[in-house]
Amino acid sequence: MSRWAAQLCWSILGTYVAIAVGVWCGLWGQNYDLAGGPKWGGISSDYWLGTNLIGQDIFARSLTSVATALQTGLMVGGLATMAGALAGACAGYWRGRWPDRILLWLMGVIDAIPFVLLAAAIAYALGAQFIAVALAMILTLWVPVARLVRAETQKLRTMPYVESAQIIGVSPVLIILRHILPNTWHLLMAQGLLVMVAALKAEVVLSFLGIGSQASVSWGVMIAESTQEVASGRFNNFLAASIPLFGLVFVLGSLADFFQSRRAGDSRASGPMQA
């Protein structure tokens, strides 16, 4: 990706962040659940993108969804990437020994259960609430990160500087934290962004299944609402959710590519999951 394209991506991402900050500060998108307008109202000066079935402001709902998406993405992306980095580094450092075996087994088990079904099972146990969704996402999305970091750690472990540190008696924990993980930085950035992408796309599927936070609004909730509307020719809700969703996912994916291409010659790393 060219420098110019990367800058464009960063500024689009910045716009999303600015919108979310505005929502968090209470500047806009606050009345997203106020059902004050007409049923399926058209575009007007009061309702910039019209209203939905029960008269809620679609524009406000889409703005609030930006904040929801970034909250979910940052939380899931951050936690899953951190967990994956630590687990992967430990597995790679003690390759073939028991920490590696246990972690590989755990990853194999989680990989074997399809994401949506695992999420459904967790939601069944905990009840359909935000924590169930977040837990399901983190529980599945740390695995691909860990696999990549494990492979990278195996390479780094044989580097002279790691061997020197081992010889002068630096503890393994310090070696992992200070000498190995910092060198996986580009990998982690790319993976973190891809985890965010996966979380955003998974959220749409889970909302459609009725698993997820009922208290707030998200693009997934809006798309689920719009399923019936589109068939009868009402596109406001559908477009107001799917276009910004596509934009954010596209930008995050492109930035992940950018970080990946800055690592020497390894473009094989793939997205953590698809939904």
What distance in Å separates the CA atoms of residue 260 and residue 62, rounded to the nearest whole number? 31
Which of 120, 22, 128 has the alpha carbon at shortest distance from 65? 22
CA angle 203, 204, 208 (to 5 degrees): 115
Write down the least CB distance from residue 204 to other proteins, Å. 5
Q: Would you report the helix, strand and coil content of the chain in percent, each value rounded to 5?
A: 70, 0, 30
In the bound state with other proteins, the residue whose beta carbon lies nearer, of 125 and 168, is 125
Phi-psi region of 212 (alpha: psi -120 to 50; beta: other; left: phi over 0): left
Nearer to other proteins, 27 or 109 (CB): 109
Q: Least distance in Å: CB of 248 to other proteins?
A: 9
Can you give the binding site for other proteins, defined by CB under 8 A? 105-106, 108-109, 111-118, 120-125, 197, 201, 204-205, 208-211, 220, 223-224, 226-227, 230-231, 233, 238, 242, 245-246, 249-250, 253-254, 257, 267-268, 270-271, 274-275
The candidate with the shortest Cα–Cα distance to 220, out of 62, 20, 78, 71, is 62
Is the CB of 12 or the CB of 170 nearer to other proteins? 12
In the complex, least distance from residue 122 CB atom to other proteins, rounded to whole angstroms: 6
Shortest gap between Cβ of 267 and other proteins (angstroms)? 5
Q: Which lies closer to other proteins via its Cβ, residue 40 or residue 208?
A: 208
